[in-house]
Amino acid sequence: MLRDAIRSLAEAKIAPYAAAVDEESRFPQEALDALVANDLHAVHVPEEYGGTGADALATVIVIEEVARVCASSSLIPAVNKLGSLPVILSGSEDLKKRYMTPLAKGDAMFSYALSEPDAGSDAAGMKTKAVRDGDHYVLDGVKRWITNAGVSEYYTVMAVTDPEKRSKGISAFVVEKSDEGVSFGAPEKKLGIKGSPTREVYLDNVRIPADRMIGAEGTGFATAMKTLDHTRITIAAQALGIAQGALDYAKGYVKERKQFGKPIADFQGIQFMLADMAMKIEAARALTYQAAAASERGDKNLTFQGAAAKCFASDVAMEVTVDAVQLLGGYGYTRDYPVERMMRDAKITQIYEGTNQVQRIVMARNLP
């Protein structure tokens, strides 16, 4: 029922704008409005803070169905979870009330600011600093590649509070867009997910009350990594949705397109490609849903499962979208058809929330 409801909403209110959002590299406002109107913009927020309290699997289904028609738009529910999960996992009751309520209402979005220009895969090598000054912390530094930066009101920012301790000297904070000293870089010019703004976040002597720290001092990196254990599954869901969207489009096309006097779907070479695409998608779906269940019950193998689902599903999304372009021939290579956009969008799922090389490092360290 949930899938049917989201699919009809996505097809009616999000899909019609997906090509224009990509072409114009503009924020999918229509998608945000439709998701907020239907309480689907941040479904993971617990009921006690005014949210719908969807479990990890339901959240995955929402993201998957939105990504099936528009990957950029699927970053609304996905990044709202990524940005706010540190507060849900480790924040004080006061922080949860203060920040989850506007998120649940749709009055504010949340971003996650871990990466920096010189600290990507090695996120613990970050340089952004937070220095205690009485009842406040003063933050200074540059965060890079921040999804939905500028659009989001709230940011979970990881910063160094004790440079001697490396990852154990990193703390997490909630920073607001309106805090003095916060500004944003120009939107990155990207290959795909062009509707999702990716910008630098500049923190120039940003003075925030000490109670905006998420958890205890020095626990920010652990919270950031624990968050990714849960949210990599949402990237797997995004990849799965993109792949399903490409397969669904190609499936229809091969029945219509005629060559050698018959629909190309009649050729066994085409049928084998479709069979392989569908098989890989089903395997990715099984792994993603299993990881979502592990996220929900706090399974001891969650770290492995989240990394495996993200890595596998994103590789499947890349393979399937490349094949979908192939199935449409020359037409697939043009922007008159959606599969080339899906192919460009799929690529990011192999890179963010840890590249697929990093996922393999994570899996190797956490073999079940």
Ligand X SMILES: Cc1cc2nc3c(=O)[nH]c(=O)nc-3n(C[C@H](O)[C@H](O)[C@H](O)COP(=O)(O)OP(=O)(O)OC[C@H]3O[C@@H](n4cnc5c(N)ncnc54)[C@H](O)[C@@H]3O)c2cc1C
CA 186/CA 157 separation, integer angstroms:
19
Nearer to ligand X by Cβ, of 139 and 254: the residue is: 139
Nearer to ligand X by Cβ, of 142 and 351: the residue is: 351
Out of 5, 225, 322, 351, the residue judged to bind ligand X by CB under 6 A? 351
Nearer to ligand X by Cβ, of 84 and 264: the residue is: 84
- Phi, then psi, of 327 in degrees rounded to 5: -65, -25
> Is 296 assigned a catalytic role?
no
Out of 22, 338, 354, 362, the residue judged to bind ligand X by CB under 6 A? 354
Kindly state the smallest distance separating residue 1's Cβ from ligand X, in Å. Answer: 31
One-letter amino acid at 346 equals A
Cβ(339)–Cβ(328) below 8 Å: yes
Kindly state the smallest distance separating residue 59's Cβ from ligand X, in Å. Answer: 17
Nearer to ligand X by Cβ, of 9 and 342: the residue is: 342
Q: Using CB under 6 A, which of the segments 5-13, 115-123, 166-174, 179-187 binds ligand X? A: 115-123
Q: Which tokens is 2 given?
A: 């949930």
Sign of CA dihedral 63, 67, 69, 73: positive
Kindly state the smallest distance separating residue 197's Cβ from ligand X, in Å. Answer: 9
Reduced 3-state DSSP string for 177-233: CCCCCEEECCCCCCCCCCCCCEEEEEEEEEEEEHHHEECCCCCHHHHHHHHHHHHHH
Out of 113, 233, 250, 339, the residue judged to bind ligand X by CB under 6 A? 113
Out of 49, 110, 112, 155, the residue judged to bind ligand X by CB under 6 A? 112
Q: Using CB under 6 A, which of the segments 65-73, 98-106, 145-153, 329-337 binds ligand X? A: 145-153
Out of 115, 161, 305, 350, the residue judged to bind ligand X by CB under 6 A? 115
Out of 11, 24, 47, 121, the residue judged to bind ligand X by CB under 6 A? 121
Total residues at the site for ligand X (CB under 6 A)? Answer: 22
Kindly state the smallest distance separating residue 193's Cβ from ligand X, in Å. Answer: 6
Q: Which tokens is 240 given?
A: 């799965």
Site string for ligand X, 196-225 (x = CB under 6 A): --x---------------------------
Q: Using CB under 6 A, which of the segments 41-49, 65-73, 282-290, 354-362 binds ligand X? A: 354-362
Alpha-carbon distance values, 4 to 10, 11, 25, 278, 366 (Å)? 10, 11, 29, 20, 36
CA 64/CA 292 separation, integer angstroms:
12
Residue 348 within binding range of ligand X, rule CB under 6 A: yes
Kindly state the smallest distance separating residue 368's Cβ from ligand X, in Å. Answer: 21
Q: SS3 for 107?
A: coil
Q: In sequence order, what are the residues at sequence separation of 6 or more whose Cβ sits closer than 8 angstroms to the Cβ of residue 302?
A: 229, 230, 291, 294, 295
| Rg from Cα positions in the chain | 21
DSSP E strand boundaries for the chain:
110-113, 129-133, 136-147, 154-160, 170-176, 182-184, 198-209, 213-214, 258-259, 262-263
Residues labelled as active-site residues: 353
Q: Which parts of this chain interact with ligand X (CB under 6 A)?
A: 111-115, 120-121, 145-147, 190, 193, 198, 348, 351-355, 357-358, 361
